[in-house]
Amino acid sequence: MTRILVTGSTDGLGRATAQSLLDDGHDVVVHARNDERAAALASLTDRGAELLVVDLADRGAVVAAASRLDAEGPVDAVVHNAGVISGRSLVPVNVVAPYLFTALLTTPTRHVYLSSGMHRGGRAELDRIDWSGSTDSASYSDTKLLVTALAAGIAERWAPDVLANAVDPGWVPTKMGGAGAPDDFELGHRTQERLVTDPDLRVSGGYWFHGEQQEPHPAVHDPAFRERLLDVLAAETGVLLPSR
């Protein structure tokens, strides 16, 4: 049994992931942006899931939440599922929050970051990004490229002790994807569940789609880009990525 944090678990893929992990007997920490959204998680918390309420666009709140989680007991794995599709919170929620949870939680040995096939349209540029979210400086595709590179960077920096992978769940029928999305919702959450629980699956640095590894944007394979991304995130947040 493992303790697993699933961010963005009030609905869609995050909720399905959390529910499946709970069904399989794992200790699950579910996450909501605010108390109003947390009400949707009552059926999971009634079954024993822990609840974390934090606005991932609020950098200070994320730092405090990571500290609380660490103090309450070891977190074995994280599914960085939460994401937004537009607006000024794109970079803080889709990139900065996953970095902060990765850097500050001391015990996880597996991290899975939700990417998207749209990351291939992202721009591998760091200088123009407003990491604070004060301005609208990046597209959804940009942020998904960055978080995919983050996964590869963590896999390299912390090998072999920590496994880090990115998953494209597909264009599935969720609130974000729309009711007419063509991909299989069930397949959209099974890969990340396996990556955080299967003791025989020791792959790290992969980019996955429906159980199979695929080739990501070329920048993800660029060690200089990955290292610069980690350095910029550390400088911008004031939170260094510890050695493992």
Task: State pLDDT tens for residues 87-108.
Answer: 999 999 999 999 999 999 999 9
CB-count exposure of residue 175 (10 Å: 0-12, 13-18, 19+): exposed
Average the pLDDT over 142-159 and give the result: 98
58-72 tens-digit pLDDT: 999 999 999 999 999
Computed over every residue of the chain, the mean pLDDT equals: 95
Indicate if the pLDDT at residue 24 is higher than 70. Answer: yes
pLDDT at site 181: 67
Type of residue found at 52: L
Average the pLDDT over 78-86 and give the result: 97
| Beta bridge partner(s), residue 213 | 208
203-215 tens-digit pLDDT: 999 999 999 999 9
Task: Answer whether residue 46 is part of any domain.
Answer: yes
CB-count exposure of residue 180 (10 Å: 0-12, 13-18, 19+): exposed
Tell me, what CATH number does 209's domain have?
Answer: 3.40.50.720
Phi, psi (deg, nearest 5) at residue 52: -120, 120
Task: Answer whether residue 152 is part of any domain.
Answer: yes
Residue with tokens 């405090």: 64
Average the pLDDT over 165-182 and give the result: 79
Q: What is the pTM of this model?
A: 0.96
Closest CA to 139 of 205, 85, 195: 85
DSSP secondary structure letters along the chain: --EEEESS-SSHHHHHHHHHHHHTT-EEEEEESSHHHHGGGHHHHTTT-EEEE--TT-HHHHHHHHHHHHHH----EEEE----SSSTTHHIIIIIHHHHHHHH-SS-SEEEEE--GGGGG-----TT--TTSSS----HHHHHHHHHHHHHHHHHHTTTTSEEEEEE--S-SSTTT-TT--S-TTHHHHHHHHHHH-TT----S-EEETTEE----GGGG-HHHHHHHHHHHHHHHS-PPPP-
Cβ neighbours, 10 Å, residue 59: 20
What is the domain extent for residue 214? 3-237
Indicate if the pLDDT at residue 161 is higher than 80. Answer: yes
Task: Answer whether residue 34 is part of any domain.
Answer: yes
Indicate if the pLDDT at residue 153 is higher than 80. Answer: yes
Confidence of residue 186 (pLDDT cuts 50, 70, 90): confident
Please report, rounded to a whole number, the percentage of residues in the chain having pLDDT higher than 70. 97
Indicate if the pLDDT at residue 5 is higher than 90. Answer: yes
Both tokens of 113, joined, read 């970051």
Task: Answer whether residue 243 is part of any domain.
Answer: no
Domain count, the chain: 1
pLDDT at site 102: 98
Indicate if the pLDDT at residue 173 is higher than 70. Answer: no
Q: Which residues are catalytic?
A: 140, 144
Closest CA to 149 of 212, 89, 102, 86: 102
Sheet holding 110-114, edge to edge: 50-53, 27-32, 3-6, 77-80, 110-114, 163-168, 207-209, 212-213
Average the pLDDT over 173-199 and give the result: 84
Task: Answer whether residue 242 is part of any domain.
Answer: no
